[in-house]
Structure 1
């Protein structure tokens, strides 16, 4: 659902940019509370994983494909404020390096793909957990529903933005019907990917999943007919916990590299939901060439590499590498700033 340059007029794009900038400022402050020394590296990895999976377009209807948006997945894994930053880092890398999503439309894309999906998904997720038993199955089920609803919500918001600042005279009713219809189908794919990923991480390290915090209930035993609290188990050694985090991080990075560098070659070549609707309804009549169209990585290929498989694979690997480095740097900086602000010396105590 990357909006190109020319779909939305300049005033509306500027307003969306202001909204996006404000949300990013709020998210930076919120991320300081969400991140700690354990989850800051995970946040960078989540951004890289979203980048990789977004390269895997899957067919959803005749001549149409879809891909992960990632807001729901990131919000559940690392928290809603950090999620907005994660998806925004991905969108920035895609726009600047890969000519995917207009640069003048970056504010629109952040508002729609990062903010809307995260807010809707996390609100649905927390609402479901409030009424479901606190278990791993509930986490997975809530993740599925939250991700499913977040995608058509983004389609609705795009339609509203287009109704305000669209550059072509197209029936908004027809745009809304087409956008919501195809993105409900894309939402199913988003839900499956999100639920499977969350379930996999919760299975090995539930303590690292933001949405699963407090999942474990205190164990109770029946003694002489009465229920009593079981003694707390001894915590795992710090070295073991560190090794487990390192193993999870390496596994996630390798998975991202394989998905972007190899599996992406087999992704659907059909246009995604927005591209298909734009072409069918005439939204793309005033689309503009991308400002980064001369990038050596434009269109997810490496310039001057003739072999399509090798070119796309190298571009995917480079994208994952750049995103994980940029994301990790951002989240470590946010974490260090929080640590500095919270230290006694910084408050004059």
Structure 2
């Protein structure tokens, strides 16, 4: 759902840029309460994983594909404020390095794909967790529903932005029907990826999952084949075995991201994604502009002058994952250090 340059007029793009900047400023402050020594490295990894999985377009209808947006996944794993930052880092890397999503439309994309998806999904998730029976299955189910609803919510948000500042004269009813219809289907894929990922992390390190903080006192960790009590407080030092488990999770996540972006992405669907298909079918793309970074050595997720398509795409994916994990980790470590210096108390991890 990356909006290119030219879809939205300059005044509307400027307003969304201001809104996105304000939301990022609020998120930087909020993330200081969500991040600590244990979760800051995970946040950088989440950003890299979202980048990798966004390269895996999956077919959803005749001639259309979809990909993960990632707002729900990030919000549940590392918190809503940090989640907004995770997806924003991904969008920034994609726009600057890979010419994916217009630079003048960056505010639109952050508003739509980072803010709307995170806010909607986390609100739905928290609401469901409060009414569902306490347990891992409920957490996974809540993740599925939250992610499912976040995608059509983003489609609605784009439709409203287009209604206000679209550069072509297309009936808003047609845009809304087409966008929401296809993105409900894409939401199913988003929900499956999110639920599987959240379930996998909760199974091994529930103490690192922001959305599982209500469940942590009742959960135990399996470390080297033995069950140990999960740490009840975010500030309490972790045992050596638990720190080793955290490193194992981080390395496993990074390797998985590299494999997905560097190898599996070659087999992704080549069909246009939901927004591209709707734009082509209804003429929204008539005034699309050439991307400012179209001459980038990594434009369109390929390495310039590398003629082998598989190698070119794989190298671009690996570079993207590496760049995103470094950029994300730098941001989150800086936020964490600011929290430590200012004495900000972390979000409670001992239950509500």
TM-score of the two chains, using structure 2 as the length reference: 0.92
Deviation beyond 3 Å, 4+ runs, structure 1: 216-219, 232-237
Please name the residue that 2:243 is paired with.
242
Please name the residue that 2:317 is paired with.
316
Please name the residue that 1:45 is paired with.
45
CA distance in 2, matches of 1:277, 1:63: 11
**Aligned-pair CA distance for 1:237:** 6.3
Please name the residue that 1:229 is paired with.
none
CA distance in 1, matches of 2:6, 2:184: 25
Question: What is the count of residue pairs matched by the alignment?
Answer: 332
Higher mean alpha-carbon deviation, 108-117 vs 235-244, is at 235-244
SS of alignment partner, residue 279 of structure 2? helix
CA distance in 2, matches of 1:104, 1:217: 46
Please name the residue that 2:343 is paired with.
342
1:215 is the counterpart of 2:215 = yes
Please name the residue that 1:276 is paired with.
277
CA distance in 2, matches of 1:78, 1:133: 22
Please name the residue that 2:12 is paired with.
12
Please name the residue that 2:163 is paired with.
163
1:4-36 per-position Cα deviation (integer Å, ceiling 9, x unaligned): 000000000000000000000000000000000
SS of alignment partner, residue 314 of structure 1? helix
1:189-245 per-position Cα deviation (integer Å, ceiling 9, x unaligned): 0000000000000000000000000204559xxxxxxxxxxxx96969611011000
CA distance in 2, matches of 1:334, 1:237: 21
Any gaps of 5 or more consecutive residues in structure 1?
220-231, 344-349
In structure 2, do the counterparts of structure 1 residues 7 and 132 end up closer, same or farther at CA, with 3 Å as the change threshold? same
Give RMSD over aligned pairs: 1.6
Please name the residue that 2:300 is paired with.
299
**Aligned-pair CA distance for 1:70:** 0.1
TM-score of the two chains, using structure 1 as the length reference: 0.93
1:2 is the counterpart of 2:7 = no
CA contact (8 A) 2:146 2:191 kept: yes
Q: Which has the larger Rg?
A: 1
1:132-176 per-position Cα deviation (integer Å, ceiling 9, x unaligned): 111000000000000000000000000000000000000100000
Please name the residue that 1:346 is paired with.
none
CA distance in 1, matches of 2:214, 2:185: 33
1:259-289 per-position Cα deviation (integer Å, ceiling 9, x unaligned): 0000000000000000000000000000000
CA distance in 1, matches of 2:124, 2:282: 31
